[in-house]
Chains A and B, each alone.
Chain A
Amino acid sequence: DGGITQSPKYLFRKEGQNVTLSCEQNLNHDAMYWYRQDPGQGLRLIYYSQIVNDFQKGDIAEGYSVSREKKESFPLTVTSAQKNPTAFYLCASLGTYTEAFFGQGTRLTVV
């Protein structure tokens, strides 16, 4: 059945290492989003994409990169330039006249 899948659920990153978080959807949605959530805080927009091969920076894009080569996939790379990456990362997709559906999230920890 349709949905949005994030993997892995838990991820550990060493200092100076790049890591990539996966987000896949089979809802045929055009728009996809990445958010970061810190403890006790709301969701902050990192990047979003309206169509394949196009994406825009959100409010906190520094230290992150994305790609949108396929409609179904919107991976997020947390680069070594992101100095405080420990957070809960949420991916969402949006259809026309529907709500944004969320994946189950990836909890990233720097070790």
Chain B
Amino acid sequence: QKEVEQNSGPLSVPEGAIASLNCTYSDRGSQSFFWYRQYSGKSPELIMFIYSNGDKEDGRFTAQLNKASQYVSLLIRDSQPSDSATYLCAVKGSASKIIFGSGTRLSIRP
């Protein structure tokens, strides 16, 4: 079992719709959870980070964390073509080790 798992996609969503990205992790001691967006050939840029169970909203983005189910998700509302990218889920476990999932490619179709 991989430490952090994501569906590789591609996930295709019409413009203006909600995109839902999911991530599961294996380490129950994980403390912090991050979502990064990466455009081709560029460094990852942070979208959201979340520490506590529940929802955290920032503009069009909502991160959801359920530690009991070891599940974290990212919702993107009113999807725009500029949201087309690879989304990386990252989990900080014990001893500050940060592990990334393999990423989900998101495509927003006009």
Tell me the interface secondary structure of chain A in the complex: strand
* Nearest 3 CB-CB pairings of A with B: A42-B102, A43-B100, A102-B43
Select B43's contact among A48, A50, A97, A103, beta carbons within 8 Å: A103
Contact A41 B102 (CB under 8 A): yes
Report Cα–Cα, A59/B99, bound state, in Å. Answer: 9
Contact A94 B44 (CB under 8 A): no
Report Cα–Cα, A42/B50, bound state, in Å. Answer: 20
Chain B interface residues toward A at CB < 8 A:
6, 34, 41-46, 49, 51, 88, 90, 92, 95-103
Minimum CB–CB distance for A49 against chain B, Å: 9
Contact A50 B103 (CB under 8 A): no
Contact A94 B100 (CB under 8 A): no
Chain A interface residues toward B at CB < 8 A:
31, 33, 35, 41-45, 48, 50, 56, 58-59, 88, 90, 92, 94, 97-105
Contact A94 B43 (CB under 8 A): no
Given A103-B43, A104-B43, A45:B98 Cβ within 8 A: yes
